[in-house]
Structure 1
């Protein structure tokens, strides 16, 4: 059986003490999945040192769409690689909503990651209004459209995956139904190809992870707040088996 991908997104949370505590607890556990932890940028170096030599992979929560240069406050893909990152989340709904990221800028970010050999976790998702209006698939298809250009240039399933996160189910405590998750994951695979991994993100917790991960079209999960709790995150990872 192919191992599931479990990606923890700490968002703008944590501290040096929390980094040490949570990662040390995770390192003591047996995790039967490919596990990545995406911490805030100021703690990437510290987390990377903590995870060195382990099976846990370090990830960033964002990356600049530009290379090195006069872009004050930005962090380039090369810099992420230098501090030990293996991957980065791009296009998260919070980035799109609060920082006006567009589908085009998300694709530029993925291109920068691919240039330096990092893996991209590309987030897509629809609002409740789009879901209720029957436009969910059209919205996702439009977000995926520009990926085909990069796929034609060699962006294989080993270079990126997609994380489907219904915006109405993020941080709300409300998860999409198993039927809704399965249908959308199957749709995304039809758009990109069955070999591309599709993760689910949206109020994933220990209580629902096993049911979500058991769906054949779900290749893993993108975990938000629950990833800050080493015990619960470990339970989610073990649900992958």
Structure 2
């Protein structure tokens, strides 16, 4: 799977141009996902209905509905044709104080609404340099592994995004990325060999067309969660092709 996270970027016109560039491309389909900002989700409904793209949201509210000004519920996201939602992204954790407990609660809400979840995990540069990278990632996975059912895990994708490589131009080497992906696979296997086998583990962190092929050729890397490069349709297509 190749998933594009547009973050807080785009416009009506640029989204239309991106969709036009992606139309009738050979790589589009069940394994290509795009997660635009909330206001532009509606522009993707034709592409989703035609099976050209999967659609996801970048977040959802914990609450089901009610007096929560500015929030967007999981049910609303599903109503707009989304199949996936990104939860636990490092920017949500760092900038908005989202804890592992809150991420788990949001996952439960999303799953109950029929959404699949991309659960993001990853360490900071300081944590990696101190030798704590694996323990940080294990802690971010722990609640989901302990408290979600096997059926829930059938609806999950894990995305490893080293925080030090997001939007910085730095990318983990293929060996660094594979090492952490193998560790994540081991954490899943400790819960269930079947879950470890069936769960896609994506790599994210300044993925581009120059680095994609070597990253994706690693044994435990099942695709990418692509940030800035996904805003450029031509560049995104090259990553998908890789």
Which of the five TM-score ranges fits, normalised by the shorter chain?
A: over 0.9
Pick from 164, 176, 184: which aligns with 1:180? 176
SS state at 1:207 partner: coil
User: How far apart, CA to CA, are the structure 1 residues paired with 2:68 and 2:146?
Assistant: 26
Change in 2 beyond 3 A, CA 1:6/1:160:
same
Is 2:13 the counterpart of 1:20? no
User: How far apart, CA to CA, are the structure 1 residues paired with 2:103 and 2:161?
Assistant: 15
Is 2:124 the counterpart of 1:127? yes
SS state at 1:89 partner: strand
SS state at 2:225 partner: strand
- Do the aligned partners of 2:206 and 2:226 also contact (CA within 8 Å) in 1? yes
Q: What residue ranges of structure 2 are gaps of 5+ in the alignment?
A: 190-195
Counterpart position of 1:29: 25
Is 2:231 the counterpart of 1:228? yes
Deviations 1:148-192 (A, max 9, x none): 244336312x30111000000001111011111011001111111
User: How far apart, CA to CA, are the structure 1 residues paired with 2:15 and 2:49?
Assistant: 14
Counterpart position of 2:54: 57
- Do the aligned partners of 2:35 and 2:56 also contact (CA within 8 Å) in 1? yes
Give the TM-score, by structure 2 length: 0.93
User: How far apart, CA to CA, are the structure 2 residues paired with 1:185 and 1:68?
Assistant: 36
Q: What residue ranges of structure 1 are gaps of 5+ in the alignment?
A: none
Alignment of 1:106-185 (within 5 A): 106-152=103-149, 154-156=151-153, 158-185=154-181
Deviations 1:44-86 (A, max 9, x none): 1122244321231111000111211222111111101101001
SS state at 1:155 partner: helix
Q: Which moved more, 1:49-58 or 1:10-19?
A: 49-58
- Do the aligned partners of 2:6 and 2:228 also contact (CA within 8 Å) in 1? yes
Give the CA RMSD over aligned residues. Answer: 1.3
User: How far apart, CA to CA, are the structure 2 residues paired with 1:60 and 1:127?
Assistant: 24
Counterpart position of 2:69: 72
Deviations 1:134-154 (A, max 9, x none): 000000011111002443363
Number of aligned positions between the proteins: 234
- Do the aligned partners of 1:36 and 1:56 also contact (CA within 8 Å) in 2? yes
